[in-house]
Amino acid sequence: MHVRSWLAARRRPVLTAAASLGVVAALATMTPSSAAPGGDDGTVSPNIVGGTTAAQGEFPWMVRLSMGCGGAMYTEQIVLTAAHCVDGSGPDTSITATYGVVDLQSSSRVTRTSTQVYANPSYGSGGGDWALVKLSSPISGATLLPIATSTANDNGTFTIVGWGAASEGGGQQRYQRKATVPFVSDSDCVAAYQPLVNAGQYDELSPGVEICAGYSQGGVDTCQGDSGGPMVKRDGAGNWIQVGIVSHGYGCARAGYPGVYAQVSALAGDIAAQAAALGGTTAPGGTSFSNNATVAIPDNGAAVTSTVQVTGVSGKTSVQAGVDIAHTYRGDLVVTVVSPSGQSFVVSNKSGGSADNIVQTYPLTFSGSANGTWTLRVQDTAAQDTGSIRGFKLTF
Choice from 58, 221, 332, 385 touching ligand ARG (CB under 6 A): 221
Choice from 164, 170, 219, 391 touching ligand ARG (CB under 6 A): 164
Q: What is the DSSP letter of 85?
A: G
Which of 60/259 has CB closer to ligand ARG? 259
**How many residues belong to the site for ligand ARG (CB under 6 A)?**
16
Instruction: Fill in the amino acid letter for 390.
Output: R
Q: Is 84 a catalytic residue?
A: yes
Neighbours of 80 (CB within 10 A): 30
CB 74 within 8 A of CB 273: no
Which of 167, 227, 265, 288 is catalytic? The answer is 227
Which of 260/335 has CB closer to ligand ARG? 260
Give ∠ CA 131-133-138 in degrees, rounded to 5. Answer: 145
Residue with the closest Cβ to ligand ARG? Answer: 249
233 three-state secondary structure: strand
Of 362, 378, 290, 319, residue with least CA distance to 60: 362
352 three-state secondary structure: coil
Choice from 22, 71, 146, 225 touching ligand ARG (CB under 6 A): 225
Site string for ligand ARG, 253-292 (x = CB under 6 A): ------x---------------------------------
Of 8, 369, 11, 3, residue with least CA distance to 204: 11
Q: Is 252 in the site for ligand ARG (CB under 6 A)?
A: yes
Of 292, 325, 293, 290, residue with least CA distance to 310: 290
Which of 92, 129, 221, 385 is catalytic? The answer is 129
Q: What is the DSSP letter of 34?
A: G
Which 127-146 residues touch ligand ARG, going by CB under 6 A? none
The per-type count for the chain, helices as H runs and strands as E runs, is: 5, 23
**Listed ranges 142-150, 171-179, 243-251, 364-372: which one lies at the site for ligand ARG (CB under 6 A):** 243-251
Choice from 26, 83, 148, 223 touching ligand ARG (CB under 6 A): 223
**Listed ranges 36-44, 72-80, 245-253, 332-340: which one lies at the site for ligand ARG (CB under 6 A):** 245-253
Which of 104/326 has CB closer to ligand ARG? 104
**Least distance from ligand ARG to the Cβ atom of residue 314, Å:** 42
Q: Is 248 a catalytic residue?
A: no
Q: Is 221 a catalytic residue?
A: no
Q: Is 332 in the site for ligand ARG (CB under 6 A)?
A: no
Rounded Cα distance between 28 and 47, Å, is 24
220 three-state secondary structure: coil
Rounded Cα distance between 213 and 216, Å, is 9
CB 290 within 8 A of CB 236: no
**Least distance from ligand ARG to the Cβ atom of residue 39, Å:** 16
Rounded Cα distance between 150 and 241, Å, is 11
Neighbours of 137 (CB within 10 A): 12
Rounded Cα distance between 75 and 12, Å, is 30
Which of 206/395 has CB closer to ligand ARG? 206
Distance of CA 80 to the CA centre of its chain: 10
CB 38 within 8 A of CB 207: no
Which of 146/259 has CB closer to ligand ARG? 259
**Listed ranges 136-144, 217-225, 270-278, 385-393: which one lies at the site for ligand ARG (CB under 6 A):** 217-225
**Least distance from ligand ARG to the Cβ atom of residue 261, Å:** 8
Which 5-64 residues touch ligand ARG, going by CB under 6 A? 5-6, 17
Active site residues: 84, 129, 227
Site residues (vs ligand ARG, CB under 6 A): 5-6, 17, 164, 221-227, 246, 248-249, 252, 259
